Amino acid sequence: MSPLSLRRVLPITDWLGNYQRPDLRSDLAAGLTIAAMLIPQGMAYALLAGLPPEIGLYASTLPVLAYAIFGTSRQLAVGPVAIVSLLTASALSPLYEQGTAGYISAAALLAIMVGLVHLMLGLGRLGFIVNFLSHSVLVGFTAAAAIIIGFSQVKHILGVSIDRNDHFYETVIDVSKALGDIHGVTLALGAGSIAALLGIKRIAPRIPGALVVVIATTAIAAGANLADDGVSTVGSIPDSLPAFGLPEINGGLVGDLVVTALVITMVGFMESIAVAKVYARRHRYEVEPNQELVALGMANVTSGVFGGYPVTGGFSRTAVNDTAGARTPLASIITALLVLVSIAFFTPLFTNLPKAALGAIIIVAVINLIDIAEMRHIATVKRSDTIGMGVAFIGTLAVGIELGILIAVVASMLVVFARMSRPHTAVLGRIPDTTSYRNIIRFPEAVQAAGVRVIRIDAALSFVNSQYVKRLLLAEADPSDGRHRMVLDCSGINDIDATGAETLSEIITEFAESPVELHLCDVKGPVRDVLHRSGLWDQLDGRIHATPHQAVDGELVIDPRSSGIDERGVSV
């Protein structure tokens, strides 16, 4: 294997071989910072996923190393995240009781399945598939998921017992009914933790607030013996390091989890690649999407075979990683090693950690996922995008995370089809003293030639919009006002399918039966190919032109090639 091929398959050989000593201090600082952040977050997100705290720690070690070996982002911080944790709980809770051996094994199997989907997409260079989920719809889905995630932790803040529900509104109802059973001490710890986290983030953002809260609340709970007063704590955490082992695999369980694996892949990769690209642009390097799929696939497979659950890149940790000074993936390697050391030597210290503190960490972490500023920006840039965003938001709250992501994908595609079905069109006129033709609405000074209508279609002509285009052209072809020529400017048509070609044939036939002639201009190569293969080019012989100006003037075409009309260059 050549050095270039090796660098593509194992990006670590590139950055490690060219490592600069001055970067070590920054990477070490970032690794320490993210470890301090990831240890409490890992346990908190495991709790959200319905798993014991140590599973979150396992998912924060070797999977992070795997990504550092195969990934192309220098700042992306991989590990457990809130949305993936909730998706895991949504998929596994109907199958097993949370925290049981079957549940833990199924979580590991889900991680392997997620990893294999990533690998198939990456090795097949199919990363474009995740683009079916548009940015605006993802914003709506993420905001709704954040609300569901945050509200799922209210029971830990209030110190009440609430069964897991499939629908958000059921959780709201159950929380309302349990308000009379609030545990005062637990509420004080939870509310105090939230206040502390927000305060530290505002006043001293470089300080790992989650670690501060974990240490403080654990000390308080241990010193005051709060567990005996009814405060729920994480209890004993095994100090065994993650060990290799395949989870139990059976066809029925794989079938139950396959949809969730696809959903986690889509959501996780969208989150990862989005944040990776932001910091790649900021530091002027490139991330390779298909290699990122491979890297995340290896991270998830590693998580599954070493007792973890699905992981992906996180927004908040990546931002902290960059702020703390990460220059290369060595920062992630340092993070993973520090978490391993903590598992081996320090887990007994977390026995008295209140679950209210972990709930507070999750709530504060997901607050930023409700991006009101981005919602306003989307509404300003393209108001119609708010439809898909709103459908995804309301749908996810109404039917849950898994069906919500399906609704989000469908909403994305419906918005695209709606735009395609009624493409932008323009009536063109000539700008005085030029040969340029422009939209007469945007350029009122543009002049329309007597007896000629020039129409531009700004979309591919396909089964989605062909009938709309046909109705438009026939409606504009009205000879009663002296019109004798219709010019279709094809500069905005970059493709035409079989239905579009058939519809164009119908349009040509109907125009042939009227006193109005149909002319085409500025036809692109792929469209010319279809017109030739369908025989429509010959039907329009002499009525295809290079520019709108030539079409309006009715210039005789001597040689299509020299006139810039067709590369075939057949003289007429």
User: What is the rounded average pLDDT of the residues 270-299?
Assistant: 86
CB 325 within 8 A of CB 26: yes
Q: How buried is residue 175: exposed, middle or buried, by Cβ count under 10 Å (0-12/13-18/19+)?
A: middle
What percentage of the chain exceeds 70 in pLDDT? 95
CATH number of the domain that 533 lies in?
3.30.750.24
| Structure tokens that stand for 188 in this block | 């004080």
pLDDT value of position 572: 40
Structural domain contains residue 562: no
Take residue 145 and report the two structure tokens written for it: 């998921």
How many residues in total does the chain contain?
Answer: 572
Both 205 and 312 in a single domain?
A: yes
Which of 196, 548, 222 has its CA nearest to residue 357?
196
pTM of the model as a whole:
0.73
On whether the CB atoms of residues 86 and 361 are closer than 8 A, the answer is no
Nearest to 435 by CA among 549, 555, 550: 549
pLDDT above 90 coverage of the chain, percent: 40
Same domain, 341 and 202: yes
Sign, Cα dihedral of 257, 258, 262, 268: positive
Band of residue 148 on the pLDDT scale cut at 50, 70, 90: confident
- Whether 565 is covered by a domain: the verdict is no
- Name which of 355-359, 367-371, 492-496, 522-526 the model is least confident about: 367-371
> 448 and 383, same structural domain?
no
Looking at 416, 434, 457, the residue that finishes a domain is 416
Q: How many CB atoms lie within 10 A of CB 501?
A: 19
- DSSP codes joined into one string, 321-382: HHHTT--STHHHHHHHHHHHHHHHHTGGGGTT-BHHHHHHHHHHHHHTTS-HHHHHHHHHH-
Domain match, 381 and 513 both? no
409 and 429 both lie in a single domain: no
Q: Of 386, 416, 446, which closes a domain?
A: 416
**Same domain flag for 374 and 288:** yes
374 in a structural domain: yes
CA distance 545 to 83: 55
**R_g over Cα of the chain:** 30
Number of domains within the chain: 2
> Which amino acid, one-letter code, is at 520?
L
Is the pLDDT confidence value at 133 over 70? Answer: no
pLDDT at 232: 87
Residues 395 and 456 placed together within one structural domain of the fold: no
pLDDT single digits (tens) 473-526: 988 887 666 668 899 999 999 999 999 999 999 999 998 888 888 999 999 999
13 in any annotated domain: no
Q: Is the Cβ–Cβ distance between 71 and 291 less than 8 Å?
A: yes
User: Within this chain, do residues 478 and 548 fall inside the same structural domain, yes or no?
Assistant: yes
Among 395, 416, 437, the domain-final residue is 416
**Confidence category of residue 120, pLDDT binned at 50, 70, 90:** very high
Same-domain pairing of 203 and 335: yes
Q: Round to whole Å and give the CA distance between 416 and 266.
A: 19
Rounded-to-integer distance, Cα 522 and Cα 545, Å: 7
3-class secondary structure, 315: helix
Burial of 330 from C-beta contacts in 10 A (0-12 / 13-18 / 19+):
buried
**42-70 per-position pLDDT tens digit:** 888 898 899 999 999 999 999 999 999 99
Whether 204 and 318 map to the same domain: the answer is: yes
Task: Judge whether 569 and 563 are in contact, CB under 8 Å.
Answer: no
Establish if 519 belongs to a structural domain: yes
**Is the domain of 80 the same as that of 51?**
yes
The 3-state DSSP class for residue 269 equals helix
Amino acid occupying residue 555: E
Q: What is the DSSP letter of 181?
A: G
Determine the 3-state secondary structure of 437 from DSSP: strand
Angle between helices 401-421 and 385-399 (to 10 degrees): 160
Give the domain range for residue 527. 425-553
Q: Are 269 and 299 in contact (CB under 8 A)?
A: no
**pLDDT tens digits for range 64-112:** 999 999 999 999 999 998 889 988 998 998 899 988 999 999 999 999 9
Instruction: Report the distance separating Cα 425 and Cα 310, nearest Å.
Output: 47
Whether 508 is in a domain gets the answer: yes
- Give the residue-averaged pLDDT of 204-233: 85
Higher pLDDT, 479 or 392: 392
Q: Does one domain contain both 235 and 373?
A: yes
- Closest to 360 in 3D by CA, of 225, 201, 207: 201
Asked, for residue 411, whether it belongs to a domain, the answer is yes
Q: Which amino acid is at 370?
A: I
In the Cβ-directed half-sphere of 533, how many Cα atoms lie within 13 Å?
11
Asked if the structure places residue 14 within a domain, the reply is no
